[in-house]
Structure 1
Amino acid sequence: MNKLIPIFLLISLAGCSNNNLENSSEINFNENAKLSKMAQENNAMPRDPLVEVIDANEIELHESAYLLDSVMADLTGDDIEEEILLYISPSPFDEETGEAIYWEDLHLWQVIVKNGEKTYPLYNYDLGGKLSFWVTPEKQLLLVQDAVHLVVYEFTYVDGIFERKALIDSGITFKRSVVEW
């Protein structure tokens, strides 16, 4: 009899977890159905869940933000160049000597696109590594996050917003060559 009680409890708990899983998948199914219905009503396709939408928004620059790079390029397809700005806080250079500072901790990296009066904060995160970007002939911005793991983001302008999608995300710590050419 004593052995039956733990077995009964185990079966009861397993039954409870199955009910919870069934309910949660029902909720997810219902939410997905609602989203699909809303998209159909608005003549819009449901968005890819792996794509993050970035709308025009004001961004606050840290007082010690250092403009690391600035590029003009047409990302919106309107034949007018937008300004792409890459900031880092704090500055990577010593204010007195101008020499590079070696970092071992996180720093705030910001990538901002200015399109007339609109500002799009494409990247605004602390990172223990570095960022670099390229603009493709297809008017996309590729951003490489080189830190504990490698991530390559693709930013595409669509109907007044930028869409961000991770093309590569190593998700693990990796080793790389650090040889300077």
Structure 2
Amino acid sequence: MEAIFDNKANVLNAKLHTTHDSSVIYTISTDQTLFGRTYTYVKDTNPALGGGSTIVGVINWEKKTFEIQGHRRPVNDIRRKATGFRNKSRFWKWSEGREEYDIVHQEEGWEAKCTSTGEVEATLAVPYRPQLFGKTTPIVLSLSRVALAKDEVFLLLTFIYCEMKRQEKTNSSGGW
């Protein structure tokens, strides 16, 4: 599956459109206060049982938790760092019995590689530099069939979390 974010480089408030028919599959929205982000919601716009959109995932930025389908887990329980000084890999796993993913930022964006098979199961292509004039390249989420079947929402939340942390680090390290 391949989906495009409709809001340039903003992963916190966007709609995800499928590339094959441009239908909206997820809506991402973020609540903000004067002091920063509080919650990011991922809403399924086409739930299986019909009806209105339903919340399938939440990032609580203050408490550093993920919630998927009503199950809440702290980020420290689902993420671990690789050993070694130069190794920048972060391993993410929602729960026992699920796949573990090595999530790394490359020049073209984020990549989630399954640790058991070594296959890249998901990518989040983020434009390197936003353009002031002209057409901007959108953010593209790609998921394999395996990731789509088991960890679709988890990987989407993980990519959002990692990209926001990367942007915060980039914005705070440069500047005047």
TM-score by structure 2 length? Answer: 0.27
Q: Which of the pair has more CA radius of gyration?
A: 1
TM-score by structure 1 length? Answer: 0.26
